[in-house]
Structures are given as C-alpha cells and as structure tokens.
Amino acid sequence: MTKAEIVAEIANKTGIEKVAVQATVEAFMEAVKNSLSNGENVYLRGFGSFTIKKRAEKTGRNISRNTTIIIPAHYIPAFKPAKTFVSEVKSNVKVKK
C-alpha cells in the first residue's frame, strides 16, 4: 500500500478531502522524523513504537577492492509493533498472489 492509497482510504472512510488528509499524513510523518532526529522515541499505544537503535562499530568488506573498512557506530530508526497489532495481523492476514 502506498502513501497515496492510504490517503485515499482515509479520505473515503472519514469524508475529509484528500488534500487535508494528505497534509495530515505528511505532518504526522514529519513529526515522527523530527522526534527521532532529536533522540526522542514515539509511542503509539495499540499500534507500536518508533525508536532509535544504536549500531556498534563493525568491520566491513569492500568486495570490489578486496579491502576491509571500519563502519563507525551510528543510530538507525526502528519500528516495533504493539502486541495487539501483531496478534491482529497474525489472525487476519490474507496474502495476495
């Protein structure tokens, strides 16, 4: 499902214009990005948590040059779904072929 499909579905279910829904979805995503950039986690009860995870420094390989490189420690965004979210997906998933 794409962002445009999400906007269309919300607009159909709520009766709000697509332009307003688009702005709201964009504002939500921007708020999550800003919070994570500032080191703050985002918790959405019943949905999940957007968190920051630290990756330790590690050694990698450049295969084309056959050399080793050091990948410095860094932070990455992560999402952990809520237990209710996981159980609903497990019991209701319908795979499209």
pLDDT of residue 97: 67
pLDDT of residue 23: 97
- pLDDT digit string (tens) for the chain, length 97 residues: 999 999 999 999 999 999 999 999 999 999 999 999 999 999 999 999 999 999 999 999 988 888 999 999 999 999 999 999 999 999 888 777 6
Q: What is the model's pTM? A: 0.78
Q: How far apart are CA 16 and CA 23, in angstroms?
A: 11
Residue 5: both structure tokens together = 């499909």
CATH superfamily to which 3-92 belongs: IHF-like DNA-binding proteins (4.10.520.10)
In tens, the pLDDT along 17-32 reads 999 999 999 999 999 9
Dihedrals φ, ψ of 82, to 5°?
-70, 155
